Structure 1
């Protein structure tokens, strides 16, 4: 109680210095939170745009025959795995559209539309028309529509067997989608599985199992669990990390850069507080000498500066958190993606990062006060009197 009272009086005696110290700490904490949140938001944005509307794990055949039989049991088992959020079965096959000005290769993809929508978000990406509801109804992408001047109700004549040009199937366009990837919009013709079953003769077989998980970074671990669970050597289980190694390397480099920046900011804050409090010990040596002459012991004298460090840490950290969040919000709200007009980076706060930054900053401030506190405890009353 005594030490805290004296600490507050010392701080209030020089309000300008106290303000600048707290503001300096706040800036340091704000930079830590801003940079950490910025990198985290950037990673979340890149991850969402790369795999947000695509499967995190794909199971396909290891043989030349793409068809997967006896898939019902494995799918039910996969749905029971912790962390798996969506499982969708797919029937894929290549076909040539022969009634375009020039024959075009397309990928006819048969889904359970409701099931697959949880992964791909088809229903939200249809900008004209509707989703396929019946056999032989399809939706095609924006690039395909523009390139071939397609309209709702147009028919696509699909040739499956190149050896027999008269073996064709007709499907009707009932909608147009935009998945945000030009190559996909140009290639995919999306329909119900009943259509692909009839076109390719798959029967009850499928060609792949698409899986989405709650935490994308756990996909590789879950893929390993799936492989062990289904124990099918004829099936290949691939997580998105295996196909996006460069993206993961970029994330790791960004994270390391963030930690380096935060470390240097923290070091500068610690040095600033330590040097300021050391000067304060010299400035307040007369007052400390008087207090010691009146009975203040060494521990109480050192506690005065430890408490000052704690007050600086708590005050600066609290202000820094608010300032850091405000800076990140301002950046996310005002910096737009020139291509889409939407936010360039998602405003996603990592509360674990904020909590860790706050705790580390407060502890660092207390540690920074240790040296001045030790000096204060060793201050001799006789030396103070001798030096006037």
Structure 2
């Protein structure tokens, strides 16, 4: 062991004494900064992961659309499924309707699905909490949970659906009566906006309500595990124009790039702002080491007089800063993961004490706090904390290296 490292350990943890106060304070600052970073970045990563899961589970990994309508025929489906990256495809039609029950109107987004193909792409059956997706036919409807609650509809209720086509018919002096559909299911995705503004019908019923004939608005596509959605979309774009002019494929990342950019930007900004906590902790490390240089001026002079090189004296204080950084970072990682493990218990206690559980669900759209920390994020946090702590030792090391042995020995 180099004597500079041995001396650094002895100065930080002197034998036969209590744990040094300045060492404890320096490590505590680094620990709290790392723990706070891990908790914050994990929560943001959890939200991002949940949002990505919801997008893929409701839209598929790739969607085929057009500026107009797309034909719903075997040629288009065969062209999509012939791609080696594709394992499932389902057509869909979507639009806004007026839905009324017991004189309570609401304006949800309606999606027409092919009940024979939907589960090969989107695990929609897993989200049906009441009723069954198998019961959905042309005379029935499935409501999202919060929408059903808001209008008071339950399983077996009959709702009236008005579409924009009704207004178009009225312009031509035609009469189109609203469609009466029986509620055969209630689904819940887990996202407040989706669970309060979405209904499902069969594709044929949606085509009738919007006057689409045999056309659809698009196709949702499921890919093999591990396939890059952008690469798969490029492959489909090379073959789709042959059977459906004007059709194009977009990955879920491309379709939601603005939203995903905002989520990533928020995560990066939180990391940047909270990193300043570690920077402040590094100033604490610098201050404690500078105090140590002043207190041990005679000892530093004695090391020089005994033949110790200025570089080795400086290295002693660099070692101390690095050790503080390593110990504080390790403790911070342990504390951060401990907080994450008990995060939902802490939130449950907080909501019980403040009575804010309903507000939490309504405005922040969660009851259980999601958390996900990638290896890349963890490495970045640990690396940044250790690097900043190590840099904190440069100024004290420089100050100690500049001390002349004769002047240092004369110090009182």
Interval containing the TM-score (normalised by the shorter chain): 0.7 to 0.9
Rate the CA distance shift 1:28–1:215 in 2: closer, same or farther, 3 A.
farther
The TM-score normalised by the length of structure 2 is 0.72
Aligned counterpart for 1:121 among listed residues 123, 135, 138: 123
- Contact 1:67 / 1:207 at 8 angstroms: preserved in 2? no
Query: For 2:34 and 2:297, how far apart are their aligned partners in 1?
Result: 31
Aligned counterpart for 1:210 among listed residues 216, 220, 224: 220
Query: For 2:324 and 2:183, how far apart are their aligned partners in 1?
Result: 67
Deviates more, 1:321-330 or 1:129-138: 129-138
- Contact 2:26 / 2:281 at 8 angstroms: preserved in 1? no
The aligned counterpart of 1:90 is 91
The aligned counterpart of 2:114 is 111
Query: For 1:196 and 1:145, how far apart are their aligned partners in 2?
Result: 23
Deviation at residue 150 of structure 1 after TM alignment: 6.6
- Contact 2:81 / 2:88 at 8 angstroms: preserved in 1? no
Deviation at residue 64 of structure 1 after TM alignment: 4.9
Aligned counterpart for 2:40 among listed residues 35, 41, 48: 35
Query: For 1:342 and 1:296, how far apart are their aligned partners in 2?
Result: 61
The aligned counterpart of 2:13 is 12
Deviates more, 1:69-78 or 1:47-56: 47-56
The aligned counterpart of 1:378 is 402
- Aligned pairs (5 A) from 1:273-288: 273-288=285-300
- Aligned pairs (5 A) from 1:309-388: 309-335=321-347, 337-339=360-362, 343-388=367-412
Counterpart secondary structure, 2:408: helix
Give the number of equivalent residue pairs: 377
Counterpart secondary structure, 1:30: helix
- Contact 2:32 / 2:332 at 8 angstroms: preserved in 1? yes
Deviation at residue 280 of structure 1 after TM alignment: 1.1
Aligned counterpart for 1:262 among listed residues 251, 271, 274: 274
Query: For 1:95 and 1:18, how far apart are their aligned partners in 2?
Result: 63
Aligned counterpart for 1:140 among listed residues 127, 139, 142: 142
Deviation at residue 377 of structure 1 after TM alignment: 2.7
- Aligned pairs (5 A) from 1:142-181: 142=144, 143=147, 151-152=155-156, 174-179=184-189, 180-181=194-195
Aligned counterpart for 1:297 among listed residues 309, 320, 324: 309
- Contact 2:298 / 2:411 at 8 angstroms: preserved in 1? no
- Contact 2:60 / 2:221 at 8 angstroms: preserved in 1? yes
Query: For 1:6 and 1:95, how far apart are their aligned partners in 2?
Result: 74
Query: For 1:95 and 1:300, how far apart are their aligned partners in 2?
Result: 74
Deviation at residue 235 of structure 1 after TM alignment: 0.9
Query: For 2:20 and 2:314, how far apart are their aligned partners in 1?
Result: 21
- Contact 2:135 / 2:184 at 8 angstroms: preserved in 1? no
Q: Any unmatched runs of 5+ in structure 2?
A: 348-356
- Contact 1:136 / 1:170 at 8 angstroms: preserved in 2? no
The TM-score normalised by the length of structure 1 is 0.75
Q: Any unmatched runs of 5+ in structure 1?
A: none
Deviation at residue 207 of structure 1 after TM alignment: 5.3
The aligned counterpart of 2:79 is 74
Deviation at residue 210 of structure 1 after TM alignment: 0.3
